[in-house]
């Protein structure tokens, strides 16, 4: 079952969408601010985001940018502000579709189905592979020797950031900035260390001799050679 995340501050609209989409066999999570949306996104395996451009604590465009730094999941913008500038900026940030309010929930549903079909096709083509690890970004799935690895949302996002920047040394500070909410409760060195240790235990043949997530002492980490 695909999980949809609705980030929309209009509670009546959000509740209406959630009710209808749940009837269509989707699992639905709701957020009413950027912070809530990012918190749910980082903790759960979300398959698609319905994202309002204007939110009480910030811009949905900025939230889209943060999501795109760590994931290729589909994003559909919902907004009453249908200026060309916002539309262009949304697509430049990686949005997959755009719906101007007011809209029919039936139309939203058809757009969701179309975007998920497209992302499924793209996921079959786009893979990130290193040695025997294969990552399917749009599906948020990871395989080793053909076997799917069971990763938490945090472990997946850490792996995704490292793999998308293969060959680059990423500092601990940069990883925490990309993976965790800068204003959340999980921003500390210990959280990152524990996530790296647990991820290594799942993907490395020998966590004491790492081939995938390599430590660059005094700086941070790198993916692969």
Q: Are 35 and 183 in contact (CB under 8 A)?
A: yes
Kindly state whether residues 118 and 146 are assigned to the same domain. Answer: no
Q: What is the pLDDT of residue 122?
A: 46
Kindly state whether residues 116 and 152 are assigned to the same domain. Answer: no
Kindly state whether residues 14 and 115 are assigned to the same domain. Answer: yes
Question: Across residues 110-134, what is the average pLDDT?
Answer: 75
Give residue 111's domain range: 3-125
Kindly state whether residues 32 and 141 are assigned to the same domain. Answer: no
Kindly state whether residues 219 and 109 are assigned to the same domain. Answer: no
- When divided into structural domains, the chain yields a total of 2
Kindly state whether residues 8 and 97 are assigned to the same domain. Answer: yes
Kindly state whether residues 132 and 116 are assigned to the same domain. Answer: no
Overall pTM surpassing 0.75 (yes/no) = no
The model's pLDDT over 22-31, given as tens digits with 9 standing for 90+, comes to: 999 899 999 9
Kindly state whether residues 21 and 49 are assigned to the same domain. Answer: yes
Kindly state whether residues 41 and 84 are assigned to the same domain. Answer: yes
**Among 80, 110, 125, where does a domain finish?**
125
Q: Would you say residue 123 has pLDDT above 50? A: no
Q: What is the pLDDT of residue 203?
A: 95
Three-state DSSP string of the chain: CCEEEEECCCHHHHHHHHHHHHHCCCEEEEECCHHHHHHHHHHCCCCEEEEECEECCEEHHHHHHHHHHHCCCCEEEEECCCCHHHHHHHHHCCCCEEEECCCCHHHHHHHHHHHHHHHHHHHHHCCEEECCEEEECCCCEEEECCEECCCCHHHHHHHHHHHHCCCCCEEHHHHHHHHCCCCCCCCCHHHHHHHHHHHHHHHCCCCCCCCCEEEECCCEEEECC
Kindly state whether residues 25 and 51 are assigned to the same domain. Answer: yes
**Among 125, 157, 176, where does a domain finish?**
125
Q: CATH number for the domain including 216? A: 1.10.10.10
Place of tokens 């949304």: 90
Q: Would you say residue 184 has pLDDT above 60? A: no
Pick the range with the lowest mean pLDDT from 80-94, 122-136, 202-216: 122-136
Q: CATH number for the domain including 43? A: 3.40.50.2300
Share of the chain above pLDDT 70, in %: 90
Share of the chain above pLDDT 90, in %: 43
Q: What is the pLDDT of residue 210?
A: 94
Kindly state whether residues 90 and 138 are assigned to the same domain. Answer: no
Kindly state whether residues 162 and 120 are assigned to the same domain. Answer: no
**Among 77, 96, 125, where does a domain finish?**
125
Q: What is the pLDDT of residue 119?
A: 74
Question: What are residue 55's phi and psi, to 5 degrees?
Answer: -125, 155
């Amino acid at each position: 079952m695909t999980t949809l995340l609705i980030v929309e501050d209009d509670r009546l609209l959000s509740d209406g969408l959630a009710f209808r989409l749940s009837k269509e066999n989707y699992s639905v999570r709701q957020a009413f601010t950027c912070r809530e949306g990012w918190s749910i996104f980082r903790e759960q395996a979300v398959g698609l985001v319905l994202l309002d451009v204007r939110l009480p604590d910030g811009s949905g465009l900025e939230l889209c940018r943060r999501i795109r730094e760590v994931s290729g999941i589909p994003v559909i913008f919902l907004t009453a502000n249908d200026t060309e500038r916002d539309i262009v900026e949304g697509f430049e940030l990686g949005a997959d579709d755009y719906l101007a309010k007011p809209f029919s929930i039936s139309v939203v549903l058809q757009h969701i189905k179309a975007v998920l079909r497209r992302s499924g096709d793209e996921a079959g083509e786009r893979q990130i592979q290193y040695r025997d690890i294969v990552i399917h970004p749009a599906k948020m799935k990871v395989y080793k020797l053909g076997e799917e690895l069971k990763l938490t949302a945090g472990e997946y996002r850490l792996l995704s950031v490292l793999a998308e920047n293969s060959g680059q040394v990423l500092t601990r500070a940069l990883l925490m900035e990309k993976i965790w909410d800068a204003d959340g409760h999980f921003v500390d060195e210990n959280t990152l260390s524990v996530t790296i240790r647990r991820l290594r235990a799942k993907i490395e043949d020998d966590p004491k001799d790492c081939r995938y997530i390599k430590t660059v002492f005094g700086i941070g980490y790198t993916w692969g050679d």
